[in-house]
A = this chain, B = another copy of it.
Amino acid sequence: MVVYSSGEKGASVGAAKSREGEALPALSGARFRVRYLLSGDEPAARRKAEDICLEQTVEFPADLVPAGVVRDEIVGRLEAFGQVGPARYFADISFAVETAADDLVQLLNVVFGNISIKPGIRVEALTLPQEITTRFRGPRFGVGGLRQTLGIALRPLISTALKPMGLSPTALADQAYQFAAGGIDIVKDDHGLTDQSFCPFSERVARCAEAVARANTETGLKSIYVPNVTGPAGLLEKRAEEARSAGAGGLLLCPGLMGIDALRFLAEHEDIRLPVLAHPSFTGSFVTAAESGISHAVLYGQLMRLAGADATIFPNYGGRFSFSREQCAGIAALCAEEMGGLRPILPAPGGGMTADRAGDMREVYGRDFILLIGAGLHRLGGDLRRNAAQFVELVGRM
């Protein structure tokens, strides 16, 4: 994984003429850079690299591109090219920051819009200069803010999900109470709970928020309830506001289902101001095929952080899914390393986690992560509060 530490300036350009003879405004010269991994022999990989430069910007054959600013600055620029393995090459391509407009959607469009449809191209790394990172508010809480909210200075944070789908709001609120009373820091909805007739959003959120608040009053602890606000496009803001009013301490969102920019919208919203946890539902196709898509680290680490997630949930290595230890470590690295001054965020590895794996995870993730435990708490017998307390004690000794 190569991640560049700073942006780069192209040759500075003045006003130039388009083919139609009209003056174009000068571009800043600032560029962002993408490392693509390309499949094929060297000539094929080079053709892919040249194609990306055109396809992601002008979408026009090279010989028809107007001379001047369009050809010199708008078209992507191949900055470096080399072999990384058998029939596998990298190409570093830079794009003018102006092509990405001022927003995340258009940035993604330039990075991987049309070429997502061409086989054998994978986004491996993304280097964003200050000209782009300053356009984003980024995480409002991040590692420090979440620790402060929860009153946990050092140990990994602990989260579990309310489940299974099919339980009523009352039954889930009872679970929420037991988990919070047992000391779980973050009690979140399972991502499959939205607004089903058997478990309506409003009733679930009201009951679960009340249950966690009641547990906090009794124990003196600071658990938060994090409902899932994923749902129809026009209802995101309404559900988030309702959750906040009901006393939710954070929000869960599935950017794969709603668009990564919905996460940015929620994280930047000045009236909501709650920690946001990103859930990976519906994003798997970007990462599961080794030769296409987007690297685990860029998708779950860098892009979720840029969009403003305070924590990013992903399947832990060794669980029910197929992420490797190295891929998970790559995500964690991009949650933490310097990125235009944006706050570091918490990786939240989940899926198939059990208490006995906590030690190895500590090695991979350090202290700043969220231990996401699911069925493991149910597996230990019927007393969820006791199971939770035992697990919290275990983590406290890590």
Q: Which residue of B lies closest to A58 (CB)?
A: B164
Number of interface residues of A (CB under 8 A): 95
Asked if residues B192 and A59 are in contact (CB atoms below 8 Å), the reply is yes
Q: Which residue of B lies closest to A281 (CB)?
A: B113
Number of copies: 2
Q: Which residue of B lies closest to A293 (CB)?
A: B285
Interface membership of A80, Cβ < 8 A: no
Annotate A102-125 by CB proximity to B: 1 below 8 A, 0 otherwise.
111110111011111111000000
Q: Which residue of B lies closest to A262 (CB)?
A: B233
A351 to chain B, nearest CB (A): 8
Interface membership of A322, Cβ < 8 A: yes
Interface membership of A231, Cβ < 8 A: yes
Q: Which residues of B contact A330 (CB under 8 A)?
A: none
Partner of A322, one of B56, B118, B254, B258: B118
Asked if residues A99 and B165 are in contact (CB atoms below 8 Å), the reply is yes
Q: Which residue of B lies closest to A172 (CB)?
A: B20
Asked if residues B59 and A258 are in contact (CB atoms below 8 Å), the reply is no
Annotate A161-189 by CB proximity to B: 1 below 8 A, 0 otherwise.
10111111011001000000000000000
Interface membership of A220, Cβ < 8 A: no
Q: Which residues of B contact A58 (CB under 8 A)?
A: 163-166, 192
Asked if residues B98 and A164 are in contact (CB atoms below 8 Å), the reply is no
- Cα A166 to Cα B23 in complex, Å, equals 11
Instruction: Pick out which of these stretches binds chain B: A140-148, A241-249, A373-381.
Output: A373-381
